[in-house]
Amino acid sequence: MNEFAHLVSRPSRQIDYQTFDNRLLAYVLRYEPSFLTCMSCGGCTATCSAGKLTDFNIRRIGLMLRRGQTDKLAAEIDKCMFCGKCSLVCPRDVNIRNVVLLIKKESTRLHAENQKV
């Protein structure tokens, strides 16, 4: 019976809004409001140059950002090569390249801030 995957218990995937860290998301939305229109279609991931070389998934970056998984995000975003194909194929005209730049900038700052504390 325990060979069925759906029966294996996984760590909880619920988002706890008491501890939800939305600083990064708020920062990105402030400077790149077009991110709000993202519908997670995955077009960006399909074309991504970095995604062909590694398991980098730009669509998942958007999900992590919305879930406030800042630490995981900072490590993941480093794989992006900035070529800009994602912005060009985006059907909602999200300026994804700027989203990546903003994430890099703010997560570096947040990381330094957390270190101080």
Partner 1 sequence: MNEKLFVIPFVAGMALLFIILIVKGYKWISSLSKIDRLRLINALKSRRILQSAKDIFMECLIHRRIFKKNMVLGYMHMSLAFGWFLLIVVGHLEAFVAEKSLAVPFYLPIFFRFFETGKEFAGSKIFAALMDLLLLFVLSGVVLAWSKRFYKRLFGMRRTTRLQYGDQIAMTALWLIFPLRLLAESATAHQFNNGSFITQTAGSLFFNSNTASTLALPLWAAYSLALGSFFVALPYSRYMHIPTEMLFIIFKNAGIKLKKRTNSFTELAIYSCSRCGICLDNCQLNNAGIKNTQSVYVLKSIRNKNIDDEQLFNCLLCGKCQVDCPVGIDLTSLRITQRIESTLQYNASYAYLENQATTKAGLIYFAGCMTHLTPRIIQSMQHLFELAGEDYWFLDKEKAPCCGRPLMLAGQYDAAAKLIRNNTTQIIASGAKKLVVSCPICYKVFKEDYQLPGVEVLFHAEYILRLMNAGLLKTAPLQKRIIYHDPCELGRGSGMYEIPREVVKNSGQLIRIKNEQEHSLCCGGSLGNLKISQAERNLIRDSAINEYLSYQPEYLVTACPLCKKTFARNRNMVVMDLAELVLEASDEFIKRKKLKGNKVTNIRELETLIQS
Q: Which is nearer to partner 1, 13 or 52 (CB)?
A: 52
Which range in 4-12, 19-27, 57-65, 105-113 contacts partner 1 by CB under 8 A? Answer: 105-113
String marking each residue 25-64 x if it binds partner 1 according to CB under 8 A = ------x--x------------x-xx-xxx----------
Is residue 68 within 8 A of residue 15, CB to CB? The reply is: yes
CA atoms within 13 A on the CB side of 94: 24
Q: Judged by CB under 8 A, which of 36, 82, 113, 114 binds partner 1?
A: 82
Q: Which is nearer to partner 1, 20 or 82 (CB)?
A: 82
CA atoms within 13 A on the CB side of 87: 15
d(CA 9, CA 86): 35
DSSP 17: T
- Which segments within 1-117 are labelled E, that is strand? none
Residues that bind partner 1 (CB under 8 A): 31, 34, 47, 49-50, 52-54, 78-85, 88-89, 93, 95, 97-98, 101, 104-105, 107-108
